[in-house]
Amino acid sequence: MMQFRNGYIYFSVLSVNLMSMVCAIGYAWTSPALPKLDGKLGTENNPLSRPTTVLENSWITSLHSLGAAFCPLFIGIVANKYGRKNTLIIFSLPMLASNVLLIFANTVPHFYIARLLMGVGTGCVFSVIPLYVAEISSVKNRGFTSMFLSVMMSFQQLLIYIIGPYVTIRILAIISLIPSILFLILFGLFVPESPYYLIMDNRRDEAVKSLTKLRQISENKAEKEILDIIDSVEKSKTGTSLKDVIKSKIVFKCLYISIGLMFFQQFTGILAILPYLQTIFDATNTSIPGDISVMIIGLLQLLTTSLTSKIVDIVGRKKLLIASNMGVFLSLVSLGTYFYFQANNFDVSKLYWLPISSIITYTICYNFGLGPVVWTIVGELFPPNLKTYLNGIATFFNIMCGFVISMLFPSLSIVLGMAWSVWIFAIFTAFSFAFFALFVPETRGRTFLEIQCMLREGKIK
């Protein structure tokens, strides 16, 4: 059973992940908002003077990913110069501005700008928070604390799914300001900088104070762990020039594993399904209202990510990934089959249970592995002195994949039909089995230095 003796670490992780909750609003917002903007819920719910078009909805959805994509390219420079904490605070401000703009938005460009601003902060969330959390956590609780991002995002998404259909876009934006304000207060005033960053910045005394506060221990005990951090940083150092990075086999190996994980995480179709949940459920023509189905999915997402946080340090990362992958594949095949029967005029009245059960299975399985565990592994792989740069590259790749999927899915579903649009994701999911089995290492219970040694020796178990 998890022991909460180091309570300040959990307070710190909770505080920093308030920014993750704002990020979750960006992903979940489209599900209740798009039916209002395109006029499906009546003109009185639309702050615009006319319904939005399919293309405008695609841009409103995908600009979030586009804004997030460019942030990781330079976030490493900012995080290494100004620190993890200051970087997170700086990039939380565009997210705050996004929801302020949504309160007053009454033209399509307003929504474009708001979504782009939300995306800028989202890129920082996935680039910096997993690294910050990994750096302040101990080996024993690192897997558990890494799950807070996914759990808190799932919780916030559930709130949006529950509240969103019944309030206006303006009221939803006002509610969405709450986690941003709490983040700036709690994280900004009470949470210390990462001791790893402080050591890399040659600020040993501050690193000791940070670790003392995080662990709630004496400075003498903190000194012992600081020595381990110094050893880890020194032994894992790699040249920071582009030439040195290209030549480094260990860096190349970390990078291709991370990029592979990011690619297959996105091409399971999560950003085709999540932003368009209510639209997909409405398309199934089942008796269960789309907004109710979305709430069920949100609740299951929260429950499964919470359970994953309990078992990730027991079962291991790799086993969870492979088991999760299998369930996602089967659920995509069954969902595509339903849409195929529907499109070909089969009687699907007796299969009313299939679409929601498929998406329920998809949600459960995705959140057991592919969703949260991928970010856990990526946060553990890179050498400490290059983490922010290389994690930024991997995050950029992840978000650009998400942008392509969220932008093309509405048009693709019209051209190919919903069945083949879903089956394409199933095909990519099938290919990911081999990648996870052959190339992804097990990082459970290993220090950062041990992970680097394992990769150098070519071990993946």
Nearest to 355 by CA among 249, 253, 425, 280: 280
Q: Are 315 and 368 in contact (CB under 8 A)?
A: no
Tell which residue, 121, 118, 98, has the closest CA to residue 173: 98
**Nearest CA among 69, 1, 2, 36 for reference residue 290:** 36
In the prediction, which pLDDT does 1 show? 39
Q: Enumerate residues 6+ apart whose C-beta is below 8 A from 440.
A: 257, 260, 261, 317, 318, 321, 377, 460
Contact between 160 and 29 (Cβ < 8 Å) = yes
Q: CA-CA distance, 242 to 405, in Å (whole number)?
A: 30
Residue 2 Cα distances to 7, 87, 139, 141, 311, angstroms = 11, 30, 13, 8, 10
Return averaged pLDDT per consecutive 10 residues of the chain, 461 residues in all. 64 95 91 84 78 88 83 83 94 96 94 94 88 85 81 88 89 95 96 91 91 85 84 64 61 86 90 66 61 74 76 77 91 90 83 81 85 81 75 83 79 83 91 87 76 72 56
Amino acid at 297: I
What the chain holds in terms of domains, given with CATH numbers, is: 7-191+236-456 (1.20.1250.20)
Digit-coded pLDDT (tens) for 222-268? 888 888 888 877 765 655 554 555 566 778 888 889 999 999 999 98
Residue type, 360: I
In this structure, which amino acid lies at residue 432? S
pLDDT of residue 279: 61
Provide φ and ψ at 422, rounded to 5°: -80, -40
CA-closest candidate to residue 194, choices 317, 341, 86, 38: 86
- Give the per-residue pLDDT at 158: 87
315, containing H or E segment: helix 290-315
Mean pLDDT, the chain, as a whole number?
A: 83
Q: How far apart are CA 148 and CA 330, in angstroms?
A: 27
> Cα–Cα distance between 445 and 461 in angstroms, integer?
12
CB 27 within 8 A of CB 150: no
* CB crowding 328-359: b at 16 or more within 10 Å, else e: bbbbbbbbbbbbbebeeeeebeebeebbbebb
> What are the angstrom distances between the C-alpha of 79 and each of 85, 110, 120, 389?
8, 30, 15, 9
Q: Which whole-number Å values give the CA distances from 450 to 236, 321, 441, in the listed order? A: 10, 21, 12
CA dihedral angle for residue 224, residue 230, residue 233, residue 237, rounded to 10 degrees: -140
The confidence score (pLDDT) of residue 437 equals 84
Query: How many whole angstroms separate alpha carbon 315 and alpha carbon 99?
Result: 39
Residue type, 70: F
305-339: pLDDT as tens digits: 777 767 766 777 888 888 889 999 999 999 889 88
CA distance 461 to 125: 29
Query: What one-character DSSP code corresponds to residue 194?
Result: P
